[in-house]
Amino acid sequence: MRDINQIIVHCSDTYVSMDIGVDDIRTWHVRDNGWDDVGYHHVIKRDGTVERGREHNVIGAHARGMNENSLGVCVVGGKGDDGKPDVNFTAAQWKALHDVVFDLKWKYGGNIIGHCNVPNSGKSCPNFNVLAWAEELGEQK
């Protein structure tokens, strides 16, 4: 098993009306990026369902420069009707995100960060302060 020292939270940058899952994102990543699979290890749908992407022992494709030692968790949504970043996740998604991140942290340790916290990402993703969220939940060191 590889050494995991980061759990990186993402959003799919999709509208609330887009009820997508791992298969949709896999199609985009393979078709548009030429990757061999979806970039994330977990995808959390609008109803809170957690779908598995890549296996944990497989390096992801979700945070340039940090994939080797991280796991990527993507929450579906994150784009407002105006096309701008928005924190529009459902209560079921917030619960699932907590449960997934807690489980990964318990299994692997490491820090919990947002894609926006990755050096030189230039992203607002996942459009909320993951560091403060994790600290508030007592998940951060």
Active-site residue list: 10, 40, 115, 123, 125
How many other CB atoms are found less than 10 A from the CB of residue 10?
Answer: 25
Secondary structure, 3-state, 40-73: CCEEECCCCCEEECCCCCCCCCCCCCCHHHEEEE
CA geometry: angle 84, 42, 51, nearest 5 deg: 105
Q: Are strands 6-11 and 14-15 parallel, antiparallel or unpaired?
A: unpaired
How many other CB atoms are found less than 10 A from the CB of residue 26?
Answer: 20
Instruction: List the structure tokens of 60.
Output: 């992801």
